[in-house]
Structures are given as structure tokens and as C-alpha cells.
């Protein structure tokens, strides 16, 4: 690894005790009194009366505490590692300085067991984000290390209340314990490790997940997909779903029948609950690997709050993101190949041309980006490409595999311009975008955040299996 291009931050050696850590985090605290996040072991029921399941979690909970800030706040977060393995925390979707991005051996040293690291940065953008480890993510995230991260707009839209749904899954054995089969080549080279139990805010989905609503009520629902590989396709019977943000970034409000959430992605929606008191409507997950009923919205017997939807607008204010100018843009291409069902490819591994089968058998790698398969962070090689700060980038992505890939870029947002050559309707800003099998996709951004930034598939087994790299902004 070329350390001269990387900013490494050494974590302190003093360990913090567990006593007094908050169960939830409200607003940002001052720099002199940082918020504490501690990784550790967690036992919890997935449904009332069920067996205890074993997790790793932040501050004794799964998901971890909701981090909530206002736009412009100075975040100060002390992460303490109570596990027996290295870890680090990535603030997914936040435009932070490169040294605060939480990628071991790329932006910092791993946080060793019993050690701490202080993350400090300004919160520039409002939106729905989340946090999780970037150390052995294919194992640490499905074990339970994830949480929602909310940054309020300067002037939030008017709703009656807000809900946060963190969706994930877990693989549970007959005795209720987690199955210890992380990192199998069959998962790395296929669709990823899919759990057999879907969770909503850490609890088993189904009719037991019942949310009371009042007729006439308007709810803002923030959806986060914290699963390591599962793609959700959510529908709500009897109601319109108005999308107002993708990955925390404002989009022209529009009504959809279904929302699709790939791993790492977030969607903010507004729902006007206008059905009769006493009725119940299900949220379902359909399609491939669909989990069926996720939750129920149950109308209370209270008097109708209003007899028509609230008149207040649902458009949220956009963050200040410099738009790319395509006529000035550098063009770059990334082709994605490999996988168990993919056509045979030759990929460079440690500088050596290697056939797909040998990549899997010898190295535990299955995917290539621009014909190179990357080991996880400790052995990262040269960036996919390097650009100067301020340059405008047009990136053409070509998925030559039989699998979907939610591609995530750290430190930046990008505009989704076209899919398979067809211009997208909303030209939306995202930090994670889902490429379907055999799709091509064009995105553009301004490289205005200096550093070496991860670009990888957020099916975490795919990232561990070679589909990760960096883009250097110098």
C-alpha cells in the first residue's frame, strides 16, 4: 500500500468504561463533551417471548442509537471498541474530511480492541444517513453494528410526526443464535449473504410490527437499508407513497406504488393516512427474496385529524452541491465483471493475471472492476483513477455481471444521468445507486472533496470479494 497518499490517524490507547453511555442520542453535544459510541456484545429477543439472539451492537442496542444533528453542527463522536477484533466507523453518505471517513488502512488505522478514536467534523448536509463499520463489513454489519444518522433541514417540512425504519436481516439457527458462516465464497460470488430473518429496527418483521396511525395524519418515514445484501421492494396497500428524498438528497416529490432499497440506500417518503378508523394496512416486501409482510399500519379509533390531506408542501430544501458541467467533464469508464454465473474473465490479483476460478479458489475473490480484483483495505492497490480537486467527472459504469450491484461513493454525491442510455426522469443526487444485472449507468459529480475515497459495491460480500477500489482527489 502506498502510504504516502493516505492519511492515517492513530487511535488513542485509553479505554472508556461502559457506565453512563446514553441509550439514545438526541442533539449534538459540544466538542468538549463528545457523544460516545461503544461497540460490544448484545443479547436480545427478536420477537416477544422468543429465544435470545446474539449480536454485536453500539451502546448495547441493535440498531445503535439514532444520531441526530442539525445542519451546520460540529460533530464530536468518541468510538470505543469493546469487541475482541478491530473495527472502525464510516458515516455513510456524509461529506466528511477524508481522515474522518472511517476506512481502515486507507483513511485511518483500525481501532484495536480496548482502544478509542475521536471523530470530529462539520455536518454540512441535511438528510437521512447511517453509520456502520468499514472493517470486515461483510461480518460486522450483519452481526448488528449499524444505526441511523439524521441531519435536520434548516426548515423541516410540516408533518404530524416522523418515523425511522432501519431494515436489515440476520441469519439465525434453530436455537436462535447467529449462524457463523461469514465470508463463504458461495455468498461472495453470488448475490451475497441473505439472512433468514428480516428485522425492522432490530425486531422480527410481521404482524407484531404494528404502528398506530390516526385518520388524517401525515407521517414522514425515513427508510434505511442496513442489510448486507438484501434488496427490499416495499409496497403499502391502500395508500400513495410520496418520495421526497433519495439518500438524503431532495428530489421533486412524486408518488410511487413501490420503493426499491438496495443495501446502503435510503429513501424519505411522506404518507397521508386517510383511511377509516379501525382499518389495518400491510407494508409488504415483494419480488426476489421478498420477506412478505414487514409491518402493519393500524388506524386508531380516535376522531379523524383532518378530512383531506394536509395542504403544506412536502418539498424539502436541497443541499448545496456543485452541479457537474458535462461539457467540462473528464470521462471515465468502469466495467464490472465476475461472479459465480459470470462469463469467464481474467482479473489482475496482486498484479498477476488470474482466471475467475483461480481467483475464487486461491484468493477468495470473485469480482473485478476494470479487470482488477482488490483485497480488502489492508492490501488496497492503486486508485481506479485520480483527478484534481474541482474537476468535473462523467463516470460510465457497465455491469457485465448477472447480479445487481448497489455502488457507493464515499465523500461525494453524484447525479444519476442515464440508465442503459435513457435519461433518468429526476436526474437525482445519490451516494449509492443500484445497477441491475447487465445494466449500464452514467453518473456525474464534481470532485471537490480531497482525499482517497472508497468506491465499492454495498452488497458487502461483493466488496470483500473484490468489487472495491478508490478514487483519488488530489
- What's the pTM value of the predicted model, to 2 decimals? 0.92
**Contact criterion met (CB below 8 Å) for 418 and 442:** yes
Please state, in angstroms and rounded to a whole number, the distance separating the CA atoms of residues 137 and 143.
9
Please state, in angstroms and rounded to a whole number, the distance separating the CA atoms of residues 21 and 33.
12
Q: Where are the domains of the chain?
A: 3-152, 161-299, 326-473
Please state, in angstroms and rounded to a whole number, the distance separating the CA atoms of residues 444 and 419.
13
Options 2.60.40.420, 3.20.20.20, 1.10.600.10, 3.30.56.10; which CATH number does 161-299 get?
A: 2.60.40.420
Please state, in angstroms and rounded to a whole number, the distance separating the CA atoms of residues 168 and 171.
11
Common-topology check for domains 3-152 and 161-299? yes
Q: What is the pLDDT along the chain (474 residues), one digit of tens a residue?
A: 333 333 333 333 222 222 222 333 433 444 457 999 999 999 999 998 889 999 999 999 999 999 999 999 999 999 999 999 999 999 999 999 999 999 999 999 999 999 999 999 999 999 999 999 999 999 999 999 999 999 999 999 999 999 999 999 999 999 999 999 999 999 999 999 999 999 999 999 998 899 999 999 999 999 999 999 999 999 999 999 999 999 999 999 999 999 999 999 999 999 999 999 999 999 999 978 889 999 999 999 999 999 999 999 999 999 999 999 999 999 999 999 999 876 667 788 888 888 888 888 888 899 999 988 888 765 566 899 999 999 999 999 999 999 999 999 999 999 999 999 999 999 999 999 999 999 999 999 999 999 999 999 999 999 999 999 999 999
End-to-end Cα, the chain, rounded Å: 17
Of 104, 105, 123, 5, the residue nearest 471 (C-alpha): 5
CA dihedral 226, 227, 229, 231 (to 10 degrees): -80
How far from 177 is each of 55, 160, 185, 191, CA to CA, in Å? 9, 39, 22, 23
- Give 229-243 as a DSSP string: SPPEEEEETTS-EEE
Please state, in angstroms and rounded to a whole number, the distance separating the CA atoms of residues 247 and 251.
10
CATH superfamily of 326-473: Cupredoxins -  blue copper proteins (2.60.40.420)
Options 3.10.129.10, 2.60.40.420, 3.10.105.10, 3.40.50.1820; which CATH number does 3-152 get?
A: 2.60.40.420
Amino acid at each position: 500500500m502506498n502510504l504516502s497518499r493516505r492519511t492515517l490517524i492513530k487511535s488513542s490507547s485509553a479505554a472508556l468504561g461502559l457506565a453512563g453511555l446514553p441509550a439514545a442520542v438526541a442533539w449534538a453535544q459540544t466538542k468538549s463533551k463528545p457523544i460516545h459510541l461503544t461497540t460490544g456484545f448484545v443479547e436480545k429477543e427478536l420477537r416477544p417471548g422468543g429465544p435470545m439472539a446474539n449480536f454485536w451492537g453500539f451502546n448495547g442496542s441493535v440498531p445503535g442509537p439514532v444520531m441526530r444533528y442539525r445542519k451546520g453542527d460540529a460533530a464530536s463522536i468518541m468510538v470505543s471498541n469493546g469487541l475482541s477484533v478491530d473495527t472502525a466507523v464510516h458515516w455513510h453518505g456524509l461529506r466528511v474530511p477524508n481522515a474522518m471517513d472511517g476506512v481502515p488502512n486507507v483513511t485511518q488505522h483500525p481501532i484495536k480492541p480496548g482502544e478509542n478514536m475521536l471523530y470530529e467534523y462539520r455536518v454540512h448536509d441535511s438528510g437521512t444517513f447511517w453509520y456502520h463499520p468499514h472493517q470486515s463489513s461483510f461480518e460486522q454489519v450483519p452481526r448488528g453494528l449499524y444505526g441511523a444518522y439524521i441531519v435536520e433541514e434548516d426548515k423541516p417540512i410540516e408533518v404530524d410526526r416522523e418515523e425511522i425504519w432501519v431494515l436489515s436481516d440476520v441469519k439465525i439457527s434453530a436455537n436462535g443464535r447467529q449462524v457463523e458462516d461469514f465470508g463463504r465464497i458461495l455468498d461472495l460470488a453470488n448475490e451475497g449473504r441473505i439472512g433468514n430473518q428480516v428485522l425492522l429496527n432490530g425486531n422480527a418483521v410481521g404482524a407484531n410490527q404494528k404502528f398506530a396511525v390516526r385518520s388524517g395524519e401525515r407521517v414522514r418515514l425515513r427508510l434505511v437499508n442496513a442489510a448486507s445484501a438484501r434488496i427490499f421492494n416495499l409496497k403499502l396497500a391502500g395508500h400513495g407513497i410520496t418520495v421526497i428524498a433519495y439518500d438524503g438528497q431532495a428530489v421533486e416529490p412524486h408518488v410511487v406504488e413501490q420503493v426499491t432499497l438496495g443495501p446502503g440506500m435510503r429513501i424519505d417518503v411522506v404518507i397521508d393516512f386517510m383511511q377509516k378508523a379501525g382499518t389495518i394496512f400491510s407494508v409488504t416486501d415483494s419480488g426476489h427474496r421478498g420477506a412478505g409482510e414487514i409491518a402493519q399500519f393500524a388506524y386508531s379509533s380516535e376522531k379523524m385529524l383532518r378530512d383531506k390531506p394536509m395542504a403544506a408542501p412536502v418539498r424539502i430544501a436541497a443541499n448545496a452541491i456543485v452541479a457537474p458541467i458535462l461539457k467540462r467533464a473528464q470521462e471515465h469508464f468502469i466495467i464490472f465483471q465476475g461472479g459465480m454465473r459470470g462469463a469467464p474473465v481474467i482479473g489482475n490479483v496482486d498484479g498477476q493475471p488470474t482466471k475467475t476460478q483461480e481467483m475464487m479458489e486461491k484468493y477468495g475473490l470473485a469480482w473485478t472492476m476494470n479487470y482488477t480484483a482488490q483485497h480488502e483495505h489492508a492490501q488496497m492497490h492503486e486508485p481506479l483513477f485520480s483527478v484534481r480537486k474541482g474537476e468535473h467527472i462523467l463516470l460510465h459504469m457497465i455491469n457485465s455481471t448477472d447480479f445487481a450491484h448497489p455502488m457507493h461513493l464515499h465523500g461525494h454525491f453524484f447525479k444519476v444521468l442515464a440508465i442503459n442510455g435513457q435519461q433518468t426522469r429526476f436526474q437525482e443526487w445519490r451516494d449509492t445507486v443500484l445497477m441491475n444485472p447487465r445494466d449500464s449507468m452514467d453518473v456525474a459529480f464534481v470532485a471537490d472533496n480531497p482525499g482517497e475515497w472508497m468506491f465499492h459495491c454495498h452488497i458487502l460480500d461483493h466488496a470483500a470479494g473484490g468489487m472495491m477500489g478508490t478514487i483519488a482527489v488530489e
